Amino acid sequence: MTQDTAARAAEILRGHRESIDRLDAILIYTLGERFKHTQAVGRLKAEHDLPPSDPSREATQIARLEDLANRADLDPEFAKKLLRFVIDEVIRHHEQHQS
Ligand SMILES: C=C(O[C@@H]1C=C(C(=O)O)C=C[C@H]1O)C(=O)O
């Protein structure tokens, strides 16, 4: 590899990493906003004696996310695992609201 091609590759890598950093920030802020709403849902459920989890709502979301993932060129299995991970954390919060 010449010095020129190495410098060009380094520049391309830097550009990708800047984009990755911006997208990571979007992911974190988006998750923060999502958790604000789910915390409000958790308080509402606790006030009205509703169960922490809602499997039928989850099934609808998983089907929707699978479709979105396919359209976004994202592995649908990964998208489902990610949503499951997030929802499990939300349910844990809801259980804490009820105790
Ligand atoms: C947020 C809710 O509570 C739980 C968490 C969900 C989520 O994080 O999307 C979905 C369904 C519920 O199991 C809800 O009922 O809407």
Residue 70 CA, ligand 1 centroid: distance in Å: 22
Nearest CA to ligand 1 atom 3: 53
Structural domain containing residue 45: 3-98
pLDDT digits (tens, 9 = 90+) for 12-25: 999 999 999 999 99
How many residues appear in the chain? Answer: 99
Nearest CA to ligand 1 atom 15: 54
Helix axes 3-47, 76-98, angle to 10 degrees: 40
pLDDT in 10s for each residue of the chain, 99 residues: 788 999 999 999 999 999 999 999 999 999 999 999 999 999 999 999 999 999 999 999 999 999 999 999 999 999 999 999 999 999 999 999 987
**Number of structural domains, the chain?**
1
- Is the reported ipTM for this assembly greater than 0.90? yes
Single out the residue of 63, 58, 50 nearest to residue 98, CA to CA.
Answer: 50
| Total Cβ atoms within 10 A of residue 42 | 22
